[in-house]
Chains A and B, each alone.
Chain A
């Protein structure tokens, strides 16, 4: 194989290619999930893999997520590397107990004697007009759980690279697929060497504001960077790729340069990734910050019905509004919370902006 063999692939096909490579590389790898065999999954991410590798490597399971996850644990005990598909984000919860109490903890419980090299693939996020439970962003639950690694690719190449890295990892990895980007196309180098799971990527260089994001919003944030440039603001966009652990090194060096931080995600705000990043950057880069970190996120509501989802999911305009705030330009929060804007110390008296 030659390194020049970049193929134009959709995001979905790139993940499919990564799974194919993982199955071909290691007989211990097996795929489990609902409708992943003959159908190829409801998003066709496993399309053709059962035909190629057989029903004992690409396994249609009974309809029970706790069953899928719990048996994956047993298979891992036996030396297998299960890659399980959860059909949609909102259906992971029946398996939550197995993930949190078993998958995440067994390595620790056994003093490292037992590894849980399980990859948990979850199409996540909104924007495709789905019914309830089909558009959620559950990453914070997993990031909050010690013992799990959590990643989310944002491009076809990352989709390919990260699924291979996830399957190769000896830790359990929650692999969150931004489902509304499945049809995005880009060249993918299928001969790329296996790379580590952790590092974030500098998706766009800039000097005025650091914009941190991941998964489905990377594309939107890059569009925001273009729009901001036309408005005279230079955004540095960081694609986290790994949500646990977070590559704070890259974020810190960027913030030390820009002095301003905006974090964007679809997931709701309270207790989300934005909070963690804002807190850590404030702890570590306080003296470089020229404005408090700004979060642009989904609201603290259940993911809404499809007709309203475009209000909930941060779009270009809402991200730019957050950027304006970080830059001290006029923005939507001015009248609600004037004191979040930089003001000279000692000049505030009546703090009335609510809790």
Chain B
């Protein structure tokens, strides 16, 4: 058929309408052969597996710690990633420093592995700033709340990479819900048209707030990119090795002028959409329980045990590292200062703006009429 002929034969990706779920580690922790992904896992050693275990443990701890901080009133809101650690860690470790990440709001695990200080995440979610890190420092863009917008940004960045002849790729993260947005679909059109070195990384966590993925897509999400001329892989998102291999493969393909690739990482949002959400209103406990059995960290531990590693010892190490990080995070939170009213007027424009300067000056004069305490009053 015409549609397959559009896909460069060099992709090597299966031209099947419903790609099977790519999986390397079964939920029981057995390593199974996979001829598509195994070539990308040749360097896997017990040490690397231990390091992935530690990454996922730390990511989970940041997540649970921030959920606690929200309950304690330190954060205004938090979007948990519980259950999605393998999707985030597996893809993040596949990147090179030069690759550029365009996240949504839930990629806090990816952020951490790109070197973003968890305190930056805290400042963001407590409402002190809109960007808790400098994107260039980590090649990790500002978080994106407008669903799907960042997919286009990733493609545009990738178009720039091509123009510069650089050896890098862009990767855009978004959810299953986001695949309904025009922006994401337009991003695929542009990526295909310009043969952009970009990876679309969709974490299908089965829910967009209260809407099940079936409302967004009648077939697998990974079926859709083929129609745009973009090959896709549907991987077990709770299998950190499968995710790492698929992402390595897609990024490598992008860097070698192979064009865009779409990865659907099939995972599950174990927690609420955010701390403001009550998932018991719309989903069954049994569904959540079924996914608990596929936990990404448990799975890796079972695999490590199968390899004869001392899981108890390495878990103790990971936990100790997580404890230390959590303690540091809490201490950092206690020392955080609130932003100042003068910050309101900063950075709205890159160049001077006399009317805004006038408003800044007016507000300064306004505040001068009071003595301190009134300024702290909340919105009435």
By a beta-carbon cutoff of 8 Å, the part of chain A in contact with chain B is: 34-35, 37-40, 42, 60-64, 66-67, 90-91, 93-94, 126-127, 129-134, 180, 220, 223, 269-270, 299-302, 304-313, 315-318, 321, 332-333, 335-337, 354-355
Contacts and interface: CB of A to CB of B under 8 A. Distances in A.
A132 B281 contact: no
A315 B377 contact: yes
A317 B183 CA distance: 42
B324 interface: no
Contacts of A93: 146
B209 A34 contact: yes
Contacts of A333: 362, 365
Given A299-B345, A333-B362, A333-B365, A306 B356 contact: no
B182 A64 contact: yes
Given A39-B281, A305-B130, A315-B380, A66 B182 contact: yes
Interface residues of B, number: 55
Contacts of B380: 220, 223, 315-316
Given A38-B210, A63-B177, A306-B76, A132 B365 contact: no
Contacts of B369: 321, 332
Interface in B71-110: 76-77, 105
B58 to A, nearest CB: 24
Contacts of A304: 343-344
Contacts of B343: 304, 308
Given A300-B356, A307-B128, A354-B354, A64 B210 contact: no
Contacts of B25: none
Contacts of B129: 305
Contacts of A130: 76-77, 127
Contacts of A127: 379
A35 B211 CA distance: 6
Contacts, number: 146
A315 B379 contact: yes
B355 interface: yes
A313 B375 CA distance: 13
Contacts of A220: 380
Given A62-B180, A300-B359, A133 B146 contact: yes
Given A311-B344, A332-B365, 15 more contacts: A37-B210, A39-B210, A42-B209, A63-B181, A90-B146, A130-B77, A130-B127, A180-B379, A299-B344, A300-B355, A306-B76, A307-B338, A308-B341, A332-B368, A335-B365
Contacts of A332: 362, 365-366, 368-369
A131 B147 CA distance: 14
Contacts of B348: 300-302
Contacts of B165: none
Interface in B346-377: 348, 354-359, 361-363, 365-366, 368-370, 374-375, 377
B210 A35 contact: yes
B281 A310 contact: no
Contacts of B209: 34-35, 39, 42
Contact of B361 (A63, A129, A269, A336): A336
Contact of B344 (A34, A133, A134, A312): A312
Contact of A306 (B127, B216, B277, B344): B127
A305 B122 CA distance: 13
A249 B354 CA distance: 35
Q: Which of A34, A63, A309 has the most chain B CB atoms inside 10 A of its CB?
A: A63
